[in-house]
Chain A
Amino acid sequence: DGGITQSPKYLFRKEGQNVTLSCEQNLNHDAMYWYRQDPGQGLRLIYYSQIVNDFQKGDIAEGYSVSREKKESFPLTVTSAQKNPTAFYLCASKQGSGNYGYTFGSGTRLTVV
């Protein structure tokens, strides 16, 4: 079945550590997105990529980094510069020309301990 796989489902980070969240899709979608979800704030865009080897900052990119070396993969690194990283992180993808066809992964819950 086609879809988006995010791993791990739960992740614990110590203060000062960098952690990387995985996102893989087998939908052959061109565009991929990372969102952060906090209670009562909806989804906020961190980074997005329209094509391989290219990506743009979203609304809350500070403290995060991404890469897009392969079409199917868009990993997100939460760096130690991110002051409040505890949140639910969602990866999504869509075909480049469409406006509706966003597919989301099941998310990664990141907690700072």
Chain B
Amino acid sequence: QKEVEQDPGPLSVPEGAIVSLNCTYSNSAFQYFMWYRQYSRKGPELLMYTYSSGNKEDGRFTAQVDKSSKYISLFIRDSQPSDSATYLCAMSGVGGAQKLVFGQGTRLTINP
């Protein structure tokens, strides 16, 4: 079993829809949770990050962490064609030397 599981999709939705992306994990030591966005043939860029449980909102994006269920989510409201990309969840334990563990990535397409 992988430490981090993410549905690879692909996921295709119409413009303006609410998008929900999810990851589950098995390592209870994970405390830092991140979402990266990766456009085709580019490196990932950090989109959202949270520490431990709770919600965090930034514009149209909301990240949620439920540590009791080992489940994290990213919601995109009023989705735009420019949101079309691969979204990767990533997580790590406490301490600067902790390695970042990634999910498989979900390929998202927003149709105009």
Contact = CB atoms under 8 A, between A and B. Distances in A.
| Pair from one complex | yes
Interface of A: 4, 6, 31, 33, 35, 40-45, 48, 50, 58, 88, 90, 92, 95-102, 104-107, 109
Contact of B96 (A40, A96, A106, A107): A96
B60 interface: no
Interface stretch (B12-20, B36-44, B69-77): B36-44
Contact count band on B: 20 to 34
Contact of B8 (A40, A44, A48, A102): A40
A97 B100 CA distance: 13
A50 B41 contact: no
Secondary structure at the B interface, as helix, strand, loop or mixed, is loop
Interface string B88-106: 1010101111111011110
A42 B88 contact: yes
B87 to A, nearest CB: 11
B5 to A, nearest CB: 10
B32 A99 contact: yes
Contact of B42 (A45, A50, A107): A107
B24 interface: no
A42 B42 contact: no
Interface of B: 4, 6, 8, 32, 34, 41-46, 49, 88, 90, 92, 94-100, 102-105
Contacts of B94: 99
Given A43-B88, A96-B96, A97-B96, A102 B102 contact: no
B104 A42 contact: yes
A106 B43 contact: yes
A68 B46 CA distance: 25
Given A40-B8, A40-B104, A58 B43 contact: no
A45 B41 contact: no
Contacts of B105: 40, 42
Contacts of B92: 99
Contacts of A106: 41-43
Given A41-B104, A43-B88, A98 B41 contact: no
A10 B103 CA distance: 25
